[in-house]
């Protein structure tokens, strides 16, 4: 976590992907069609405390959220639901803090928080890569 805080002094965003070096930032895969995954993800995100869903565009699989930090900064989060094949979907997250200062690792923690909640809800469908 110290390394994340040090990186966060300079960087104010974090993202996941299947080529991420950090294993915690790798895309999460679920054995669900894109439509089913979308329904589960959007309903789960809408129930998460401290997060506000601003936009949802099902056709492209994007959900835009906002979160305010304890220090009053605003974070913009995009959750993408991607069809890998007809039976499997991937979820990726991009989180960025508004303003020029680094985020002290808060975007990293937000991504882990969202993944933790999604994995709890969709645990039966999770594919371990």
What span, in angstroms and rounded, lies between the C-alpha atoms of 117 and 79? 13
Which tens digits make up the pLDDT trace of 60-81?
Answer: 999 999 999 877 889 999 999 9
pLDDT for the residue numbered 87: 97
Residue 114 has pLDDT above 70, yes or no: yes
What span, in angstroms and rounded, lies between the C-alpha atoms of 58 and 34? 9
> What's the pTM?
0.90
pLDDT for the residue numbered 82: 97
pLDDT for the residue numbered 105: 80
Containing 74, the helix (H) or strand (E) segment is strand 74-85
pLDDT band at 11 (very low <50, low <70, confident <90, very high): confident
What span, in angstroms and rounded, lies between the C-alpha atoms of 30 and 37? 8
Report phi then psi at 70, rounded to 5.
Answer: -60, -25
CB-CB contact of 54 with 77 (8 Å):
no
Residue 129 has pLDDT above 70, yes or no: no
Q: What is the CATH number of domain 2-127?
A: 3.30.310.220
Each domain of the chain, given as residue ranges in start order, spans: 2-127
Residue 5 has pLDDT above 80, yes or no: no
Mean pLDDT of 123-128: 92
């Amino acid at each position: 976590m110290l390394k994340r805080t040090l990186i966060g002094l300079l960087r104010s965003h974090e993202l996941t992907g299947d080529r991420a070096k950090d294993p915690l930032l790798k895309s999460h895969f679920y054995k669900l069609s894109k439509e089913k995954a979308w329904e589960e993800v959007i309903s789960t995100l809408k129930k998460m405390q401290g997060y506000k869903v601003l936009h949802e565009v099902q056709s492209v699989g994007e959900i835009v959220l906002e979160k305010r930090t304890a220090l009053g900064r605003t974070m913009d989060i995009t959750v993408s639901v991607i069809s890998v094949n007809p039976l499997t979907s991937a979820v990726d997250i991009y989180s960025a803090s508004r303003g020029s200062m680094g985020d002290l690792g808060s975007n990293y923690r937000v991504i882990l928080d969202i993944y933790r909640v999604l994995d709890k809800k969709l645990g039966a469908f999770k594919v371990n890569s």
